[in-house]
Amino acid sequence: MKQVLLKAGKDRRLKAGHLWIYQGEIGTIDIELKSGDLVEIGDQRGRFLGLGYYNQASQIAIRLLTNEREEINRAFFKRRLEKALAYRKRVKPSAISYRLIYGEADLLPGLVVDCFGDYLVVQILTMGMEVNRELIFELLVELFAPAGIVERSDLAVRRLEGLEERAGCVYGECPETVSINDNGIDFQVNLLLGQKTGYFLDQSANRARLVDYVAGRRVLDCFCHVGSFALHAAKYGAASVLGVDISKEAVEMATNNAILNQLAERCRFEEANAFDFLREQVVRKEKYDVVILDPPAFTKSKQAIEGAIRGYKEINLRGLKLLSSGGILVTCSCSHHLHREVFEEIVSVAASDAKKRVRLLERRTQGLDHPILMGMSETEYLKCCIYEIL
């Protein structure tokens, strides 16, 4: 097997549990090594560290698969998939919609699989998974017998791997919309054209926490997508819920989901830019009892972090201004480049500027079906904080 040796000291992160090796950390490399090749990784002295897939096109040169000397073959991938399923059955035993494979956290770097009842949605994001694409689909069919598999490898991150974007039905029948259930609430979601894999499963447990905060209250849900937080609020007894999203298609689906759950009388949706909407609501001196802010990631890189901080500061400042004493702010960030301490400082500064005194009630993160791999902070990305206005 072709071999890569790391520079002196560059093995520390790997030994601490991380799975990535950057181009600049490589000391010596086999001159015949090609993108997609499986390589043996060694430290500066040639001592074995593990096996992984190499990609010359990416800044992340190697993604580690295992620290053991073992065959990387069909049986290897089958074991990893079976282990991932066993974990989900343990942590989400009654769920029919959940994240089945979460990339690095399941020791399958670059592979994401979401299960929506009888359907699977797959994202192949790295060269190492791309070269095993057909095998992965074959094993998913064998192990899970889905009615259909949708591939949503249409993310820009694939370009960083030297891969083209790709999406479509790859197995069975793939209807444009399917029915799922989240915490007892029914949703119609678009697996072929919706954002990411069609529905954000990582917030499921956080949506369920609304049960303690919304009964009899007026709720505003910004960046509402297909109405997931909004419908949970209505289901848990909110007096009224207004959801806002910039996507016409998302608003239409959210409206239909409210009708589907017989919640349309207390839950309505508007197509609007959430930044502009919040600004207008503050000018009009509107008041809500609960404000939910669950925006898309404002930054995909460290270079854009300053702009992201301004964005989070603005929406939290305006959201806080819409709340009176006793009001609840549920605010989230899915930008893994924005660390939790920074995010909470943003909210603290926004509260000061809004002349509000706030109490932190809950710190939350992604659901257990999106596990966090210790030693690899990139697997922990979701911040969800619940505050009370004093």
Would you name the residues annotated as active-site residues? 334
Please tell me the distance from the alpha carbon of residue 204 to that of residue 261, in angstroms, as a whole number: 17
**Alpha-carbon torsion angle 147, 106, 2, 37, nearest 10:** 30
Please tell me the distance from the alpha carbon of residue 131 to that of residue 39, in angstroms, as a whole number: 14
Please tell me the distance from the alpha carbon of residue 122 to that of residue 132, in angstroms, as a whole number: 13
Q: What DSSP character marks residue 389?
A: E
Say if residues 129 and 103 touch (Cβ distance below 8 Å): no
Say if residues 125 and 196 touch (Cβ distance below 8 Å): no
Cα atoms in the Cβ-side hemisphere of radius 13 Å centred on 37: 17
Burial class (CB in 10 A: 0-12, 13-18, 19+), 9: exposed
- Rounded (5°) CA angle 305-308-310: 115
